[in-house]
Copies of this chain bind each other. A is one copy, B any other.
Amino acid sequence: MSSGNHRIVLADHPVGEPRPADFRFEEVAMPVPGDGQVLLRTIYLSLDPYMRRRIDRGDTDPRAVRPGRLMPGGTICEVVKSRTPDFRPGDLVTNGAGWRQYSVADARAVRALDVTAMPSATALGVLGMPGFTGYAGLVKIGAPQPGETVVVAAATGPVGSTVGQVARMAGARVVGIAGGPRKCAHLIDDLGFDAAVDHRDPDFARRLAAAVPDGIDVYFENVGGAVLDAVLPRLNEFCRIPLCGLVAQYNATEAPGTDRLPGFLDRLLEVHGTVRAFAMTEFVGELYKQFVKDMSSWIQDGRFVYREDITDGLENAPAAFIGMLRGENLGKTVVRM
Residues of A whose CB lies within 8 Å of any CB of B are 60-61, 221, 224, 238, 243-246, 249, 252, 255-262, 264-266, 268-279, 282
Contact = CB atoms under 8 A, between A and B. Distances in A.
Contact of A266 (B246, B259, B264, B268): B246
A245 B262 contact: no
A238 B271 CA distance: 23
A271 B264 CA distance: 19
A259 B258 contact: yes
5 contacts: A243-B269, A244-B269, A252-B262, A271-B277, A275-B276
A267 to B, nearest CB: 9
A270 B224 contact: no
Contact of A269 (B246, B261, B269): B246
A277 B273 contact: yes
A183 B71 CA distance: 52
Contact of A277 (B244, B261, B269): B269
Nearest to A271: B277
Contacts of A245: 269
Given A245-B269, A255-B262, A274-B276, 18 more contacts: A60-B270, A224-B265, A238-B282, A246-B262, A246-B269, A255-B258, A258-B259, A259-B260, A260-B260, A261-B261, A264-B264, A268-B275, A269-B277, A270-B277, A271-B277, A272-B282, A274-B274, A275-B275
